Amino acid sequence: MNPGWADLDRGLFSISVAAELAGLHPQTLRIYEREGLLDPARSAGGTRRYSRRDIDRLQEISTLTADGLNLAGIRRVLELQAETRRLQAEVAALRQQADRNRRPARDVPGSERQAR
């Protein structure tokens, strides 16, 4: 597999290909970008380049619009999802730290328990 294909954030697709993959019109992608729902990469010449993650986001936006949300509502949902992911990562890091702090000294490599 091409290493660039594995990178979900690499801009690989032109606007027309991205629109086709997402089942949308290219103008819709421009609107979503203008509304701050999407921020595709740009080539050196300024051409929009959509990543696989962008395509997934477009499909998610399509699902939310089909459910009746307007663009402001979709923006808020996406912001809340991002905040949830950030908080989940923070909780996981805090749990790891707490687990390390709870381990007895004998379980910590390089430490020795003092005889009483």
Percentage above 70 pLDDT, the chain: 85
Lowest mean pLDDT of 72-76, 88-92, 111-115, name the range: 111-115
The torsion defined by the Cα of 28, 30, 31 and 34, in degrees rounded to 10, comes to: 160
Q: What is the pLDDT of residues 97-112, one digit of tens each?
A: 999 998 776 655 665 5
Q: What is the pLDDT of residues 78-99, one digit of tens each?
A: 999 999 999 999 999 999 999 9
Residue 2 has pLDDT above 90, yes or no: no
CA 12 to chain centre: 16
Domain 3-102: CATH architecture, name and number where available: Orthogonal Bundle (1.10)
Q: Calculate helix-pair angle for 71-102, 52-66, nearest 10 degrees.
A: 120
Alpha helix ranges (H) inside the chain: 3-6, 15-22, 26-34, 52-66, 71-102
pTM over 0.85: no
Any idea where the domains of the chain sit in the sequence?
3-102
